[in-house]
Amino acid sequence: MTPSLRRAAVLLFVLLVVTQVGVVVFTVWEPAFDGRIDYQQTVDLGGAYWPMNVLLGGPAYAIGFVVSAIFLAVLAEGSRLGQAGAVLLGLAGIVFALVITAEVLPFVWAADPDVVSPATGRELFESFNDELDRFVPYVVGSMAGIALGILVAVLGATLVGGLPKCVLGLVTLLLVATFAAPMGSALALGIGLLERAMWVGLGWLGLRRVLRET
Residues 39-98 have pLDDT tens digits of 999 999 988 999 999 999 999 999 999 999 999 999 999 899 999 999 999 999 999 999
CB count in 10 Å sphere of residue 203: 27
Query: Does residue 158 have a pLDDT over 70?
Result: yes
CB 142 within 8 A of CB 95: yes
Q: Of the candidates 64, 81, 66, 85, which has an alpha carbon nearest to the alpha carbon of residue 16?
A: 64
How far is 13 from 86, CA to CA, in rounded Å?
16
Looking at residue 190, its pLDDT comes to 94
Q: What percent of the chain stands above pLDDT 90?
A: 86
CB 157 within 8 A of CB 82: yes
Query: Does residue 99 have a pLDDT over 80?
Result: yes
CB 31 within 8 A of CB 182: no
pLDDT band at 161 (very low <50, low <70, confident <90, very high): very high
